[in-house]
Chain A
Amino acid sequence: MNIVVPIKLVPDLVEELEIDDDGTDLDRDFLSLRINEFCDHALEEALQLKDAHGATVTVLALDGDETDKVLYTALAKGADRAIKITGIDGAATSRQTANAVANALEGIDYDLVLTGVQAADDRDGQLPVLLASRLGIPHVSVVSEVAIDGDAIHIKKEYAGGVTATLRAKPRVVLGVQAARETPRYAPVSRVRQIMKEAELDEVEAGDVGAGATSSVRRMFTPDKGEGAEMIEGDADAIAAKLAEILNAKRS
């Protein structure tokens, strides 16, 4: 079984986000990027499948500042091949990303695509849906576990209200992973560094990725403080004291 995991990189929320001068986007000069958490889970689920059933895992990501590190880390964790999609801005929209990935997949033999169910910067839709529709194959989202049984793929999908369904699909299918069955594994730095010395990242051209989003941003801003929220200011002790006071008052 050949599994492909397209990985999105998203702004790292550890850094304070700033709005650019136009007021329509994040100021990307001061951003640092990291792997989208859901994509990390998709990779883990793919590696779990590889460990359990044997499979080839190929990771894909759009070229950008942190892409090499993310791809080498994926190889260190056990992915077999890593491909960097070049000639496209890291700030691509979901549609552009879906097109770029679909173009890249033309040259790859794949049975299963696992990717993050969503990402923090999915303004114009989630990648799994867009990718599946562009590829013309089925898709399942909010997946929490995948099992392979011969030619059949068993998929656990979560619904709202604590309902879970098990679906069966045949290759090819795109799955939007909500959570892997286990915490994404750790990639020891020695291995990552060793991989960096030894392994090569393949590159493919993004090709025609289309015009981008079907909607445009008029204004980007930090949410106004609402009336209902009381912001507690001060150092940790003052905040703790205030919280204790509020909780005590509500206890009665």
Chain B
Amino acid sequence: MPETPTREIFLHFSTAMELVFYAVAAVASVVFLYGFWLRYRKIRRGRSEHRFDDLVGRIRRAVVQIATNATVRKGDRFAGLAHALIFWGFVVLFIGTCIVAIDHDILRWFGLKMLQGTFYLWFSLTLDVFGVVFIAGLVLMIVRRWVMKPAQLDYKRADEQGGQVDRSGYATDDMIFVWLLLVIAVTGYVVEALRIAETMPAFERWSIVGWVLAGPLSGLETETLVNWHVWTWWFHGLCALAFVAYIPFSKMMHIFTDAVNLVFVDERAARRLPPLPPAPDGNGDGDGEPKKKAAPRMGYSRITDFTWKELLDLDACTKCGRCHVACPARAAGTTLSPRDLILDLRSFANEAFGTPEWLTQRFGRESKWPLRDGGTATALDTDVATDVIRPETLWSCTTCMACVAACPVGIEHLTGIVQMRRHLVDGGTLDDNLQGALMNLGDYGNSFGESPKKRGRWTKGLSFKVKNAKKEPVDTLWFVGDFASFDPRIQGLSRTVAEVFHTAGIDFGILYDGEKNAGNDVRRVGEEGLFEMLAEENIAALDAATFEQIVTTDPHTLNTLRNEYPDLGADYRVLHYTGLLAERFASGALSVSRRLGHRVTYHDPCYLARYNGEIDAPRDVMRAIGLDVVEMPRCGANTFCCGAGGGRIWMDTSNEQKRTSEQRIEEALELDGVRVFVTTCPKDYTMYTDAVKTLGCGDRIVVKDLIELVAEAIEPESVEAAASDEAGAAG
């Protein structure tokens, strides 16, 4: 007797049992919606921020990223595969459940039915296949987390707080998440198998997994099968409803928060920092007095200073630990871990806003955590930049952007760090050395405390006079920067750059005393007012000059000129010197008279490669002059920081147990036959020459700026002069 392939929903259920199920489902839904609303209410407490431009484009980009799992796969293929399997398994099974619900709860009342015939067969096959996909992903994740145990999944804090922080809640939450899903998936198959085993209809071969499992069960008594089916069904159903109810209170919430976070991500985050946040509204300060002229907030000191997107960032974190292992400050052994920073702020925000979070980190009585005794009465007044995140931790950041780049869910750690630093600067909580540098920058426009008039003095000794761009038009305006102008170790390199530009026929000039520090690192230190002042003075000088493009040897300068000055009204084409030279080699304006032929490795500067995607040009130049480039494991946009960025070069860095510059040189020493470590950033040159000296490995590796090698390759006669000059500096 031919049967129409279909199945009965609520098989063997009495009406009362069905109603009980719907009641439980309703309760689970209410709990879910309540939890969801609590989270939404928390995010709404954030300051407003406009992220709704090009909403269609944002959604399209996020949908593609989510569908392909591209951001999860990036940098971790195993986790990417496992996640993609779980993701697609979940999505398809969820759609399947929705179809059942629509069929049974809506269409049925209109006398319609989708789940029958051919559609039912394909439905069964698809869901069974994706159930396997889902389980495979879960098993891979279980293996990864509890067998492979990669370093990034270790929840040990960067600052131990004397063992006062208990993070076992996180581990429990992970366990519930993955095992609960696995139990739901497996019991789903068991329910299916028990149902099929009762009558073994031939068309159920399409439910491949259920059919296979049903075989051995088919010999059992019908009554037993019916009993088992009902009980397993309830177990499966209750687990699924528990999952739904649990979502907003657990890591599972990332399903929603991460999707939304990826929609509203700022693709220019960190590259272009926001100006000071506007003043709080008149009565926001609590004293009720109307402000005569509202001054902007000097960065973030309260949790309510964070924008809704920044609060969403906190909830978006899945503790994947990629930022934790990428962070140079963490690698150096400071108290900063971008992951811990986000998680601490999240714990604090939840406490301050009264949002429940069941399985989380717990701070012991002896810890310095401000709310350890449940003192939420004053939570909103707590100084987050001192009492939640410690100043030392905030000052440890090199702003290398590795965390932002590594984050698969669009968290923008760096903006919050700088906003909190702004508050520290405003309150005068800063390192003496840094204060000295800032005072010099304010007084003289350079961190060296040199007279601004001496800024162009490095040009003395060149074979020609460098044009003064304040006085005559030039094609290319060279924005030299502080280190290249004043540091005796770098001035020789600047002269070599000038000679090479001259040889290449580049019509260039500099602003002499019209140039000030461009302010990239000043801004990242959190001295926004000083940044604005420097930028205004530079922009006035640039506006008064006539030129086609700007070139600089300093990636930090490049970043602010290219990404931040446009917002202040100065939108110019900005090149790194390696880009300019690559153009000249390509066009034939520069030619090589001597191919060098040694094996070198190249360190990508953070601000060049990661911030600005300038990865090819330096390599093109190295190839053009005949160098054989051997890459370090961390290269290109995945480069490792020298430790000098974000103002660290001006600070006391004795909280670093093992300097990142030394770690990087050791990474290069691992390479076979590489004796030259090439950089293209003045700060890198300074840091790495120091590191080689400290490590005492000067006989095995020598640090060179690419310009020295270019000079050597293009003009043999003048090499002696430049080379002997530099050899002296390097030795």
A interface list, Cβ under 8 A from B: 12, 14-16, 34, 183, 185-186, 188-194, 197-198, 235-237
Query: If A14-B444, A15-B453 touch, does A191 touch B298 (CB 8 Å cutoff)?
Result: yes
Per-residue interface assignment for chain B, residues 431 to 465, with 1 indicating a CB less than 8 Å from any chain A CB and 0 otherwise: 01001001100111000011101000000000000
Q: Give the residues in chain A near B439, CB-CB below 8 Å.
A: 186
Query: If A236-B488, A237-B728 touch, does A189 touch B532 (CB 8 Å cutoff)?
Result: yes
B425 contacts A186, C-beta separation under 8 Å: yes
Min CB–CB distance B525 → chain A (angstroms): 11
Q: Give the residues in chain A near B592, CB-CB below 8 Å.
A: none
Separation of A185 and B427 alpha carbons in the complex (Å): 9
Q: Give the residues in chain B near A190, CB-CB below 8 Å.
A: 276, 296, 298, 426, 528-529, 532
Per-residue interface assignment for chain B, residues 446 to 490, with 1 indicating a CB less than 8 Å from any chain A CB and 0 otherwise: 000111010000000000000000000000000000000000110
Q: Give the residues in chain B near A198, CB-CB below 8 Å.
A: 292-293
Separation of A198 and B279 alpha carbons in the complex (Å): 15
Min CB–CB distance A27 → chain B (angstroms): 15
List the B residue with the shortest CB-CB distance to A15.
B451
Query: If A14-B444, A183-B432, A183-B435 touch, does A189 touch B530 (CB 8 Å cutoff)?
Result: yes
Q: Give the residues in chain B near A236, CB-CB below 8 Å.
A: 488-489
Mark out the residues of chain B between 523 and 544 whose CB falls within 8 Å of any chain A CB in the assembled complex. Answer: 527-530, 532-533
Separation of A193 and B428 alpha carbons in the complex (Å): 16
Other-chain residue from B449, B453, B533 in contact with A193 (beta carbon distance below 8 A): B533
Separation of A237 and B728 alpha carbons in the complex (Å): 7
Query: If A15-B453, A16-B451 touch, does A186 touch B443 (CB 8 Å cutoff)?
Result: no
Is the CB of B295 closer than 8 A to any CB of chain A?
A: yes
Separation of A190 and B525 alpha carbons in the complex (Å): 14
A192 contacts B529, C-beta separation under 8 Å: yes
Question: A16-B451, A191-B298, A193-B529 provided; 15 other pairs, C-beta below 8 A?
Answer: A12-B443, A15-B451, A15-B453, A34-B443, A183-B432, A183-B435, A186-B425, A188-B298, A188-B425, A189-B532, A190-B298, A190-B426, A190-B532, A235-B488, A236-B489
How many residue pairs link A and B with beta carbons under 8 A? The number is: 56
Residue among A14, A192, A235 with most chain B CB within 10 A: A14
Other-chain residue from A14, A194, A235 in contact with B295 (beta carbon distance below 8 A): A194
A191 contacts B426, C-beta separation under 8 Å: yes
List the A residue with the shortest CB-CB distance to B429.
A186
Separation of A189 and B298 alpha carbons in the complex (Å): 11
Min CB–CB distance A118 → chain B (angstroms): 21
Is the CB of B208 closer than 8 A to any CB of chain A?
A: no
Q: Give the residues in chain B near A194, CB-CB below 8 Å.
A: 295
Separation of A194 and B296 alpha carbons in the complex (Å): 9
Separation of A12 and B439 alpha carbons in the complex (Å): 14
Other-chain residue from B293, B451, B488, B530 in contact with A14 (beta carbon distance below 8 A): B451
Other-chain residue from B428, B450, B451 in contact with A186 (beta carbon distance below 8 A): B428
Query: If A186-B425, A186-B438, A198-B293 touch, does A191 touch B529 (CB 8 Å cutoff)?
Result: yes
B451 contacts A189, C-beta separation under 8 Å: no
Min CB–CB distance A208 → chain B (angstroms): 34
Mark out the residues of chain B between 498 and 539 whose CB falls within 8 Å of any chain A CB in the assembled complex. Answer: 527-530, 532-533
Is the CB of B729 closer than 8 A to any CB of chain A?
A: yes
List the A residue with the shortest CB-CB distance to B530.
A189
Separation of A192 and B530 alpha carbons in the complex (Å): 10
Separation of A145 and B533 alpha carbons in the complex (Å): 35
Separation of A191 and B488 alpha carbons in the complex (Å): 34
Q: Give the residues in chain A near B453, CB-CB below 8 Å.
A: 15
The 8 closest A-B CB pairs, nearest first, are A190-B529, A189-B529, A236-B488, A189-B530, A237-B728, A185-B428, A186-B435, A14-B451
Min CB–CB distance B98 → chain A (angstroms): 53
Separation of A192 and B442 alpha carbons in the complex (Å): 11
B529 contacts A237, C-beta separation under 8 Å: no
22 A-B Cβ contacts within 8 A?
A14-B449, A14-B451, A15-B451, A15-B453, A183-B435, A186-B425, A186-B428, A186-B430, A186-B435, A186-B439, A188-B527, A188-B529, A189-B442, A189-B527, A189-B528, A190-B276, A190-B298, A190-B528, A191-B298, A194-B295, A198-B293, A236-B488
Q: Give the residues in chain B near A183, CB-CB below 8 Å.
A: 432, 435
B529 contacts A14, C-beta separation under 8 Å: no
Mark out the residues of chain B between 94 and 138 whose CB falls within 8 Å of any chain A CB in the assembled complex. Answer: none
B interface list, Cβ under 8 A from A: 276, 292-293, 295-296, 298, 425-426, 428, 430, 432, 435, 438-439, 442-444, 449-451, 453, 488-489, 527-530, 532-533, 728-729
Min CB–CB distance B530 → chain A (angstroms): 4
List the A residue with the shortest CB-CB distance to B731.
A237
B532 contacts A14, C-beta separation under 8 Å: no
List the A residue with the shortest CB-CB distance to B430.
A186
A188 contacts B432, C-beta separation under 8 Å: no
Min CB–CB distance A119 → chain B (angstroms): 18
Q: Give the residues in chain B near A188, CB-CB below 8 Å.
A: 298, 425-426, 428, 527, 529-530
List the A residue with the shortest CB-CB distance to B534.
A189
Min CB–CB distance A47 → chain B (angstroms): 10
List the B residue with the shortest CB-CB distance to A16.
B451
List the A residue with the shortest CB-CB distance to B528.
A190
B293 contacts A197, C-beta separation under 8 Å: yes
Q: Give the residues in chain A near B533, CB-CB below 8 Å.
A: 189, 193
List the A residue with the shortest CB-CB distance to B531.
A189
Separation of A193 and B451 alpha carbons in the complex (Å): 23
Min CB–CB distance B276 → chain A (angstroms): 7
Separation of A197 and B293 alpha carbons in the complex (Å): 10
Separation of A193 and B528 alpha carbons in the complex (Å): 11
Separation of A194 and B276 alpha carbons in the complex (Å): 13
Separation of A188 and B527 alpha carbons in the complex (Å): 7
Q: Give the residues in chain B near A197, CB-CB below 8 Å.
A: 293
B450 contacts A14, C-beta separation under 8 Å: yes
List the A residue with the shortest CB-CB distance to B440.
A14
Separation of A190 and B438 alpha carbons in the complex (Å): 13
Separation of A189 and B425 alpha carbons in the complex (Å): 10
Q: Give the residues in chain A near B529, CB-CB below 8 Å.
A: 188-193
Q: Give the residues in chain A near B530, CB-CB below 8 Å.
A: 188-189
Separation of A198 and B276 alpha carbons in the complex (Å): 18
Separation of A235 and B729 alpha carbons in the complex (Å): 10
List the B residue with the shortest CB-CB distance to A76.
B529
Separation of A18 and B449 alpha carbons in the complex (Å): 19
Separation of A189 and B296 alpha carbons in the complex (Å): 13
Q: Give the residues in chain A near B442, CB-CB below 8 Å.
A: 189
Q: Give the residues in chain A near B292, CB-CB below 8 Å.
A: 198
Min CB–CB distance A112 → chain B (angstroms): 23
Q: Give the residues in chain B near A185, CB-CB below 8 Å.
A: 428
List the A residue with the shortest CB-CB distance to B488.
A236
Q: Give the residues in chain A near B428, CB-CB below 8 Å.
A: 185-186, 188
List the B residue with the shortest CB-CB distance to A183.
B432
Q: Give the residues in chain A near B451, CB-CB below 8 Å.
A: 14-16
Q: Give the residues in chain B near A186, CB-CB below 8 Å.
A: 425, 428, 430, 435, 438-439
Q: Give the residues in chain A near B438, CB-CB below 8 Å.
A: 186
List the A residue with the shortest CB-CB distance to B461.
A235
Separation of A15 and B452 alpha carbons in the complex (Å): 9
Separation of A12 and B442 alpha carbons in the complex (Å): 14
Separation of A14 and B451 alpha carbons in the complex (Å): 5
Min CB–CB distance A52 → chain B (angstroms): 15
Min CB–CB distance B91 → chain A (angstroms): 48
Separation of A12 and B444 alpha carbons in the complex (Å): 11
Separation of A183 and B679 alpha carbons in the complex (Å): 37
Min CB–CB distance B651 → chain A (angstroms): 14
